[in-house]
Amino acid sequence: MLKPITNAEIQLLIAQAIQAREQAYAPYSGFKVGSAVLSENAKIYPGHNIENVSYSLSICAERNALYHAHICGANTFYALAVVYHETEFAKPCGSCRQVMHEFNPELLLVLCNLRKEYRLLSLSKLLPEPFEKSQFQTHKIEAK
């Protein structure tokens, strides 16, 4: 489910991820993250991390972007950008990788920094053995 992505789309994703990062709520870790996802309708949906004093209630930027897009009616995603640092490249956590896989196992990741430098990577490279829907099929035992 990969589609060609243009350099212009990559630059827009990066710009929106950087802008989303500015809105991040990270008072405990100081680890501000921004993300933006490109959907099938060519729209870009941003997201940022939101922390909570009870860390398990926090949510990552990547999942926020995907959920934002889904709430707005998008269901197919082609690329997702993530940014957090001036020079380093962030990689999504395991939970985010699994959620991304639910929508597109071949999602293109744009790992970028605040200098607008980036690396492209397929989600399948970062999540080689995901949980699959087929693993959780219900089986019925027939009565004799």
Active site annotation includes 142:
no
Neighbours of 7 (CB within 10 A): 7
Catalytic member of 9, 22, 62, 142: 62
Q: Do β-strands 108-112 and 77-83 pair in parallel, antiparallel, or remain unpaired?
A: parallel
| H-type alpha helices, the chain | 7-21, 61-71, 94-103, 123-126
User: For residue 88, which amino acid is it?
Assistant: E
* Residues catalogued as catalytic: 62
